[in-house]
Amino acid sequence: MKLTKTLFATTALTVAAGLAHAESHGMMADSMTLVSWGGAYQASQDKAYAQPYLEMHEGLTISWDESSNEAVAKLRAMNEAGNITWDLVDVVASDAIRLCDEGLAMEYDPEELLAEGDDGSSAEDDFGELIVSDCFIPQIVYSTTFGYRTDMVPEGVDAPSEICSVFDLETYPGKRALEKRPINNMEWALLCDGVAKEDVYDVLATDEGQQQALDKLATIKDDVIWWSAGADTPQLLADGEIFMGSTYNGRLFSVIEEQDQPVAMMWDAQVFDLDGWIIPTGLDDAALARVKDFVKFATDTQRLADQAKYISYGPARASSAPLVGQHAELGIEMAPHMPTDPNNAKNTFLYNYEFWADYRDDIDAKFQAWLAQ
Amino acid sequence: MSVSDIVITSTGKKDPSFTIPVIAAAGAFAGIFVGAAQGSTLLGIVGGAILLAILAFLCIEKLGRDGEKMARWGILALFAVGGFAFGAVAGLVVGLLFGWFFGWFIYWIGFNRYRAHLVPYLTPGQVLWHYSFRVICGAIFVFLITPIIVVMPLSFNAEDFFTFTPEMLRFDPEGYSLKHYRDFFTNPEWTSAVWNSLKIAPVATFISVSLGTLAAIGLSQSHVPGKRAIMAILISPMIVPLIISATGMYFFYSKIGLVGTYWGIVLAHAVLGIPFVIITVTATLVGFDRSLTRAAANMGANPVTTFFRVQMPLILPGVISGGLFAFITSFDEVVVVLFIGSAELQTLPWQMFTGLREQISPTILAAATVLVSISIVLLAMVEMLRRRSERLRGMSPG
């Protein structure tokens, strides 16, 4: 009698434990909210990652929230309210670093979370130094560079091919569009004021250097239209409002190849930056299991290479580069349009995360004060 | 015979020393715009003044009133040909408008017609003010309406930018397309946004109208203590900055699990709509005769029957116009939705807001045009109801 009871109890316990186990590890949520930037970029992610994943998993729903722009603020509010409604968030690397520091993004182990490269390399080697933070899962390399109207190049002058044309109002008259923040603009200004490329950040760390950059920018200030959304410069170029303007290279690709506008790229001194996923902290087990499964799929070699069919951003895995093919609709080779293509990457900068993490507040304040003068 | 046909002051030919400078000045003013468009403002001013002075002299002094018809057609043709020479089809349209206006203007000034409908004893200063006032009102109207009008042709753009392309300005059919409307009506992002808005707004409106009407009736009773304070609290969502309400709602709704849910948005929008209903219904109740409810009670009707059979039909116009405002509030609202909403419940304004920030696509203009049309229809309905209720209560002659 006693034995039966004991047996019965242990069985019940085992079953219960098994159920609990299944609930915490085996079950995955059947809906997922991904946060991204909207537009062509989000469409490329949807086509390359989300649609194939949905085909493999029946009954799953994926919703997109176009809130990456204010992801940091919204994640803070969600954390405060104790109600995380996002499962996976696309942010630029600098935002990922901030979120990681504040504990709002989850740290992960690349070897466990990410798939091996197609060529057999470990995930950590395949992404290499692009994993700039313990929370950041890199997807793409993009660059901020200039585009110009080919029909507004003055007669008898060569088309602008180097960064200092931006500051040369005599040879290239016309309005310019620059981003309304110091990052990139300060570096370009110093480069064109005679500072050697390797000294740029040393100079920019000093008060005099910052003033020097602002003074250089002041020489073209009257001819600058300041932009804040990635869509602004393409619109201004299409309007003929400006002669040249900086924006993300994928936006310029779409203006030139998809919208057929008389615009050309000036790759010189393009600034590389990274974009990728972070997983918010505080997800429940089922949601987390689903997200991990999705991330493993969406960042494998083939998926990252597939994304380049829809937008001209370089895949973050070294092993994806040889697989980059043709544009899905236009049928043109995508490799020559990648910012990482050797022809385009003759003179480049990599966004200096450490420098800007240390100096951003200070230089931002000076830049905004200078803008208002 | 309409009012504008009544001649109060007799008219006759004015002295050319007055008319020709005035018309030349008008020509110079129009010349600013033509000149600026063609490259030289100064040339435009001088050219416009000389051209109009000559035309005024010919029409008033040589052709006179007998040749009016011919003169006006002549001016129309002249401006049309000139406009076409400068700017093809678009120039032709502008030229026709200018030609029609100046033909009329020369005779209006030249033969003192501007005094015809004014009383004879007005001084020149008063006459000038009479017309300046109308021009200023017209200018304000144009200033308010132009931004709304200008997006409408752009929504038919064949390109993916907010730009009047050269093809559009030439009225070339190639420059126009319905593709943004097609995108708006077929792209699941937009259709699901419209669908979500249509699921949320009517329910929010229904709650606003029910609660708002009851509150207004209650507050119109004379025996309610602290009426003003209660009223102020109920109307506060209209006065408190929306971003503050939205933040408060976000944190409160998070605690009770309403954030990102359908009912969360409906409740939030109902709160925003209630003040509109209270205000319109309270205004209607001012003209409501309380003895009618007492009479109904006297005849044995209970309060509920009295409300539905006597009071409700009489205040219905106020209730409906309040409901329409509540509907538009919910349908156009973006701030609260950005806080309370979720990716699955994107409403139309949310979609427009995020779309405009990340990609400037004219699909937004197509959506805006559709929304503006809906708003115009709804507001026209409100106005018709208001007039009907005024007529019923004998407050306007009809």
Q: Supply the pLDDT for residue A273.
A: 92
Which CATH class for the B187-359 domain? Answer: mainly alpha
Of B159, B260, B355, the CB nearest to A259: B159
> Model ipTM?
0.71
Three-state DSSP at A297 gives helix
Query: Could B360 and A235 be called an inter-chain contact, meaning their C-beta atoms sit closer than 8 Å?
Result: yes
A206: in domain: yes
Whether residues A264 and A284 share a domain: the answer is no
Whether residues A181 and A241 share a domain: the answer is yes
A49: in domain: yes
A122: in domain: yes
A2: in domain: no
Full DSSP string of B120-180: TT--HHHHHHHHHHHHHHHHHHHHHHHHHHHHHHHTTBSSSSS---HHHHTT-GGGB-SHH
Of A35, A37, A238, the CB nearest to B358: A37
Q: In terms of Cα–Cα distance, which of A282, A263, A259, A276 is closest to A330?
A: A259
Whether residues A34 and A126 share a domain: the answer is yes
pLDDT (tens place) for every residue of chain B, 398 residues total: 455 566 666 667 777 788 888 888 888 888 888 888 777 888 888 988 998 888 888 888 778 777 788 888 888 888 888 888 877 777 888 889 988 998 888 888 888 788 877 888 888 888 889 999 999 999 999 999 988 888 888 888 888 888 787 777 777 788 888 989 998 999 888 899 999 999 999 999 999 999 999 999 999 888 888 888 999 999 999 899 999 999 999 999 988 889 889 999 999 999 999 999 999 999 998 888 888 888 998 998 898 898 888 888 888 888 988 999 999 899 889 999 988 988 888 899 888 888 777 777 788 889 989 888 888 898 888 888 878 877 877 665 54
- DSSP 8-state symbol, A366: H
- DSSP 8-state symbol, B57: I
Whether residues A355 and A323 share a domain: the answer is no
Residues 6+ apart with CB under 8 A from A206: none
At position A27, the amino acid (one-letter code) is: M
Query: Could B359 and A238 be called an inter-chain contact, meaning their C-beta atoms sit closer than 8 Å?
Result: no
Q: Supply the pLDDT for residue B232.
A: 92
Q: Supply the pLDDT for residue B206.
A: 96
Of A69, A80, A239, the CB nearest to B357: A69
CATH of the domain at A189: 3.40.190.10
Q: Supply the pLDDT for residue B1.
A: 44
A5: in domain: no
A336: in domain: no
Residues 6+ apart with CB under 8 A from B191: B185
The range of the structural domain enclosing residue A159 comes to 142-274+342-372
Query: Could B161 and A33 be called an inter-chain contact, meaning their C-beta atoms sit closer than 8 Å?
Result: no
Q: Supply the pLDDT for residue A8.
A: 53
Query: Could B161 and A259 be called an inter-chain contact, meaning their C-beta atoms sit closer than 8 Å?
Result: yes
Number of domains in chain A: 2
Whether residues A181 and A69 share a domain: the answer is no
Whether residues A224 and A351 share a domain: the answer is yes
Whether residues A267 and A313 share a domain: the answer is no
Tell whether B187 is within 8 A of chain A (Cβ): no
Whether residues A157 and A257 share a domain: the answer is yes
Q: Supply the pLDDT for residue A66.
A: 85
Q: How far is A341 from chain B (nearest CA, A)?
A: 26
- The CB-based long-range contact list for B178-182 (8 Å cut-off, 24+ gap) reads B180/B155, B180/B156, B180/B361, B180/B362, B180/B363, B180/B365, B180/B366, B181/B155, B181/B366
A1: in domain: no
pLDDT under 70 in chain A at which residues? 1-26
Whether residues A87 and A232 share a domain: the answer is no
Alpha carbons B368 and B151: distance in angstroms, whole number: 8
Q: Is A192 left (phi over 0), alpha (psi -120 to 50) or beta?
A: alpha
Contacts of B354 in chain A (CB under 8 A): 38, 66-67
Residues in chain A: 373
- Domain boundaries, given as residue ranges, for chain B: 3-119, 187-359
Full DSSP string of B314-344: HHHHHHHHHHHHHHHHHHH--HHHHHH--GG
Alpha carbons A243 and A11: distance in angstroms, whole number: 77
Per the CB < 8 A criterion, the answer to whether A174 and A152 are in contact is: yes
Alpha carbons A295 and A136: distance in angstroms, whole number: 12
Query: Could B255 and A81 be called an inter-chain contact, meaning their C-beta atoms sit closer than 8 Å?
Result: yes
Query: Could B359 and A80 be called an inter-chain contact, meaning their C-beta atoms sit closer than 8 Å?
Result: no
- Alpha-carbon distance values, B229 to B232, B236, B279 (Å): 5, 11, 15
Whether residues A258 and A283 share a domain: the answer is no
Q: Supply the pLDDT for residue A60.
A: 93
Whether residues A112 and A198 share a domain: the answer is no
A355: in domain: yes
